[in-house]
Structure 1
């Protein structure tokens, strides 16, 4: 199944299909756009890596039929075949966008064994004489499609960047046009408020335990060998196979959200293959926690971003105004969420088919991703508060979500082991609910990973300062999903390899996302001319 551009726009944030956020926000416009052992640094091309067998004649296998092995030392294989480019099919694509597939090993320890397919795409440089290389767009999620990003994100890039690079996208293994997987989840389990571990109204997590165990068992039963092969380290290896197939000595990249972590892992494993490396809205790379840390950071991120919504919702000139002062918006929201906990409102066509307290909380989290989503949240709050009809829900079909959810779960659960102690989660959820009521315990709760039947095949990659100094980070100060506190940890881990541009803005995604000329110019100058700030930079509000 290929995910279309509309659905892909809903699928792009960290931690178990977080990108499906828009499904529960009525008429929401698209945004402008436990503990595992710590690994030693993985720094050399080929460390725990082997190139794949040639795609010519390689055996391509469906997800359920492929065989997998535990990775071990690197082996040598032939470079992948040159892609057979053809015009892409789909609505609203740049007519110049081309698509192809390449073969990659299911198991990089067996590079000449079973192969799976990666779907790739490109829009070639608009001025070949100015071309300097390839800019790879690394999608977020995990579980976000990237095949159409050369069109959707490419058109947002300035002409100078489009002249300097071929813009290349891809669907990660298991997703969309690549060899797809599915957990085969039931309709109810695909509701974001069930995929996300929102506790019950009283703070109990018994339902989360039951759901997490069921999802882990279902994915193990239906996901097949490809599901077990998915990890961030293998995404980095897949990216290097894309580089080889394109015939590039080095890649430049723009990674967003989870794409920053995948990009940082690639830069750690293949440092000499990186050219100009942009990390936009960075995840905390803590190798002991990985996605568990990303989930925990929502507590900080939502608190950081909420005051922007509150100020907007109390602006006297705002037709969607909810309160007379910003200080009134927080208690208004919390009181309404508590009321909906007790008495949900029917919402036909949504999943679940009611507006309850957790659906409202999830809708808040979604809306904080972009100021363009504030009006939709305000309409939903006003309708629920005043008893007027709810806006029409924007719910993708189940089929469009299955691969994304499976890839997301596989990535976060295969990357690192999660704690299994239910009493510890109960304690942490209670404390989180007390200190961060807007997120109601979600950031401290368990995921299907607590019941995942497969141990990680390798340790998480530790991000270190070892490697070329060619990374530019850009980060909004008030990001609900990848908050500044986590980005600063990525900055610390990269050390002298990176510089960081911090933008005084709210939302998830910074470059070409919020009209900040200072931040946009810093990234563009780096990509086009290689001009990177000598030290970290702070950009004022636009």
Structure 2
């Protein structure tokens, strides 16, 4: 499929939501998926399911699939959208949509869209996990709505047909070889790109931020809302910011939680590279935790001093580079790359610290059998791998020079040893056929001043310094709440957010009253 022409907004009447039916958890650039891919040439046949989007645009709510593990009162529907928004009369696909209705209908003030991260995270599961706490925090004032973006969860899928060995997180993410070489990474990246070009078709090429924004606008129409409020997380903040740029009059109260640099020259490629700094910012929190005397009784104290924890972790990673350890998962050794990936994942939340400290202790004990974390214990489904690489490769043209990646890795391994050169290494995007589907846009400060950003100071995935770039781009439209905490995803501590009470109060006040701080603030 060739690069599509620049998209021109189409009138709502040209994009009807027709009667049709359709039926992953991820962080950063990883995901896990579910059902089989939709065909790329025609929508699936209609069924007798009750949860459908009607031709008039209204959504009909029914029971959610058991796989969603829905919260009490959570209902689900299907939304039909064009496979290619440039051709709205062509083939259609279906997206899974879900809602928790406002707990106080008489005080309802609208719909709050819960936008997941990834690319590759499912909205329905996020609503199931976060929705009850969010409803309580906001006093039942909103209908809470989420959808699985195209390619994810219960929505239409794409497939790349990747070999199993290319679908493990530690291989899909380009961790250099033990000696720092990147030749095997380049070979795998080329192989993945070739398979996606051969098997992905129009469905894979439709996995873009731009199309997710267009799908959101059709969802707004189907919900019958003049405006939407939103709480977006991680990659979802870029989706939300793009929507606010393109539909400023359709946004009400807009919360961006854990944002990355939206510079069109750094979209996707820069996000991955920034993870090296994020790990450096965040690791001292883990080091202090793992050196604290309280860990002694738990058997998780790794050293007497935080500085020694860093030395131990880096030394252990280097030892595993030389001598990988067999694990409880046959054929999945604990290598230096796997150990560094386990660390990178653990830095997302303090709640993950014990498991990583336990893994480090097992790796240090010659008699122990290390137990890999779940995300490293098996290959992700092909559909999940497809969306993981598809969005970031479709959104922007990545550098193509393999030797330049090798040089960047060599420098980054010295500058940021905790991440071992992975964030700047070659990926399938360097060999992506056809390049970007559409050129990324530059975000501006034009539009209503109704955006509140929240960002932890020590975020391992979207560093605070990257969030400041989003803040700069949005200019007078936004205010920013910086939270003196570590972890990814700040808001709503009651549902696993890694921020603090001050940050939560500030966001909740904005969602309930529209009140924001007069200037950017720091929550200590």
Question: Paired residue for 1:7?
Answer: none
Question: Paired residue for 1:261?
Answer: 238
**Closer/same/farther in 2, CA of residues 130 and 160 from structure 1, 3 Å limit:** farther
Q: How far apart are residue 185 of structure 1 and its match?
A: 1.9
Question: Paired residue for 1:95?
Answer: 72
For residues 304-358 of structure 1, give each alpha carbon's deviation from its aligned partner in whole angstroms, at most 9, with x where no partner exists.
00001101110011121100111101111111111101110112427x6100000
1:506 alignment partner, one of 472, 486, 500: 486
Contact 1:473 1:501 in 2 (8 A): yes
1:256 and 1:315 map into 2 onto residues whose CA distance is 31
Question: Paired residue for 2:138?
Answer: 161
Give the TM-score of the pair, scaled to structure 1: 0.86
2:339 and 2:64 map into 1 onto residues whose CA distance is 38
Written as runs of structure 1 = structure 2, the 5 A alignment for 1:357-368 is: 357-368=336-347
SS of equivalent residue, structure 1 residue 134: strand
Q: How far apart are residue 391 of structure 1 and its match?
A: 2.6
SS of equivalent residue, structure 2 residue 419: coil
Contact 2:20 2:94 in 1 (8 A): no
2:333 and 2:486 map into 1 onto residues whose CA distance is 29
Question: Paired residue for 1:280?
Answer: 257
SS of equivalent residue, structure 1 residue 122: strand
Question: Paired residue for 2:516?
Answer: 532
Greater Cα shift, 85-94 or 254-263:
85-94
Greater Cα shift, 420-429 or 144-153:
144-153
1:518 alignment partner, one of 465, 483, 502: 502
Question: Paired residue for 2:369?
Answer: 389
1:334 and 1:292 map into 2 onto residues whose CA distance is 25
Written as runs of structure 1 = structure 2, the 5 A alignment for 1:339-488 is: 339-349=319-329, 353-387=332-366, 388-391=368-371, 393-394=373-374, 401-488=381-468
In the alignment of these two chains, the number of paired residues is 487
1:522 and 1:79 map into 2 onto residues whose CA distance is 40
Q: RMSD between aligned alpha carbons?
A: 2.3
Question: Paired residue for 1:75?
Answer: none
Q: How far apart are residue 130 of structure 1 and its match?
A: 1.1
Question: Paired residue for 1:152?
Answer: 129
Q: How far apart are residue 514 of structure 1 and its match?
A: 2.9
SS of equivalent residue, structure 1 residue 125: coil
2:486 and 2:161 map into 1 onto residues whose CA distance is 36
2:483 and 2:39 map into 1 onto residues whose CA distance is 42
2:41 and 2:154 map into 1 onto residues whose CA distance is 17
Contact 1:59 1:114 in 2 (8 A): no
Written as runs of structure 1 = structure 2, the 5 A alignment for 1:195-344 is: 195-318=172-295, 319=298, 320-344=300-324
Question: Paired residue for 2:28?
Answer: none
2:230 and 2:442 map into 1 onto residues whose CA distance is 20
2:410 and 2:143 map into 1 onto residues whose CA distance is 50
Q: How far apart are residue 494 of structure 1 and its match?
A: 0.3
1:106 and 1:399 map into 2 onto residues whose CA distance is 28
Greater Cα shift, 56-65 or 163-172:
56-65
Give the unaligned 5+ runs of structure 1.
1-35, 68-77
Give the TM-score of the pair, scaled to structure 2: 0.89
